[in-house]
Structure 1
Amino acid sequence: MKGHWTFNRNSTADQVLEGKDLTGKIALVTGANGGIGFETARALAAAGAQVILACRNPELGEQALSRIRLAHPHAKVELALLDLASPASVRACAHGIREREDIPQLDILICNAGSMSMQYLLTEEGIERTVAVCHLGHFLLCRELLDTLLLAPAPRVVVVSSESHKYPFKLDFDNLLVSRKQGAVTAFNAYGQAKLCNALMALELQQRYGAKGLTACAVHPGALVTTGFGNGSWLTQLAFKVASPFTKTPNQGAATSVMCATHDNSEDIAGGYFSHCRPARRSKEAANPAVAKRLWDFSEQHVQQGGAAS
Structure 2
Amino acid sequence: MAVRCASFRPRARRCPARGGGAARVLAGLLFLAALAPGAGRAQFEPAQFEPIVPGPVQPVSLELVLAVDTSSSVSPEEFDLQMHGFSGAFRDPSVIAAILATGTSGIAVSMIQWSDNRRQQLAVDWALLTDEASILAFAEAIDDTPRFLDGGGTAISGAIEFGLAELSRNAFAGTRQVIDISGDGRANQGASPDSLRDLAILQGVTVNGLAILNEDTSVADYYKTNVIGGEGAFVMTANDYESFALAIQEKLIKEIGGVPVAEGPGAPGAPGGRTVAAGAELAQMPEAAAERTALGGPRPPRRGVVPE
Q: TM range, normalised to the smaller chain?
A: 0.3 to 0.5
Query: Bigger radius of gyration, 1 or 2?
Result: 2
Structure with greater strand percent: 2
Question: TM-score, normalised on structure 1?
Answer: 0.34
